[in-house]
A = this chain, B = another copy of it.
Amino acid sequence: MGTKATAGKTRERILDVSLAMFNDRGEPNVTTNHIADELEISPGNLYYHFRNKDDIVEHLFARYENSIDLAIVPPIDRLPTLEDIWMQLHKAFETMWEYRFIYRDLVDITSRNRKLRMHFARIIKRATANANEVLKGLTTAEIMRASRAEIEATATNIILVATFWMSFNSVRGGQLEKGSEDLTQGIFQVMMIIAPYLRDAERLHLNNLALTYVR
């Protein structure tokens, strides 16, 4: 009792600390010894719980995949509203922020690991399909007007902007990461891709929000 770890505790701590360190410094810059040091456990113990470093990454990714899958479920049995989109984006950006290390070195990580590559491609495909559905729903609900081609291109752009918003933000300089406020701007940027397709009322509404968010 006390400092002694109970079942599964260390395993979870490894994942938690790894996640924090990966998010902080980037996965390629965090070694398994760093992680063990930070946890004050031996490297051997870390390898008792995970086969190798990639195993840790894969488990974190699986966690992420579960979360993001929940975040991008479209409303069932009714047409979507703009509010739904705000909500979905919020949940998605939150989740992505939690696992931002994946996005920081996305190309490198997916090119090194076949499993992650396949799963990430699946997430993108699913997210794009969902975006498409939602846009179609908005059109059916006559909240926006767009051709089929416009909807397709727009869905892709939405996912691209969402996927790389955090990277873009860190890369365009200024302050490094202040978290929530930046995310909100990311959400707003995505909304602004849809904006011009909206009816005047909604478009005006977004325009006013813009004054608050755009940097």
**Nearest CB in chain B to that of A194: its residue:** B196
Q: Is A93 part of the binding interface, using a Cβ–Cβ cutoff of 8 Å?
A: no
Q: Give every chain B residue within 8 A of A111 (Cβ-Cβ).
A: 26, 170
Number of copies: 4
Q: Is A106 part of the binding interface, using a Cβ–Cβ cutoff of 8 Å?
A: yes
Q: Is A146 part of the binding interface, using a Cβ–Cβ cutoff of 8 Å?
A: yes
Q: Which of the candidate stretches A3-11, A58-66, A67-75, A118-126 sits at the interface with the other chain?
A: A118-126
Q: Give every chain B residue within 8 A of A165 (Cβ-Cβ).
A: 160
**CA–CA, A20 and B28, complex, Å:** 22
Whether B170 lies near A164 (C-beta < 8 A) is no
Q: Is A104 part of the binding interface, using a Cβ–Cβ cutoff of 8 Å?
A: yes
Main secondary structure of the interface of A (DSSP, over half): helix
Q: Which of B120, B122, B163, B197 contacts A164 (CB 8 A)?
A: B163
**CA–CA, A154 and B172, complex, Å:** 16
Q: Give every chain B residue within 8 A of A170 (Cβ-Cβ).
A: 107, 110-111
- Residues A86-116 near B (CB distance < 8 A): 104-108, 110-112
Q: Which of B154, B171, B189, B197 contacts A124 (CB 8 A)?
A: B171
12 A-B residue pairs with Cβ-Cβ distance under 8 Å, sorted by A, are: A106-B167, A120-B173, A125-B173, A146-B196, A149-B211, A152-B210, A153-B192, A157-B189, A157-B193, A163-B164, A164-B168, A196-B196
- Extra contacts besides A106-B167, A106-B171 (15): CB < 8 Å: A29-B112, A110-B171, A118-B173, A122-B173, A125-B173, A149-B211, A150-B196, A150-B210, A152-B210, A156-B189, A157-B157, A160-B165, A164-B164, A164-B167, A164-B168
Closest 3 CB pairs of A and B: A121-B173, A149-B210, A196-B196
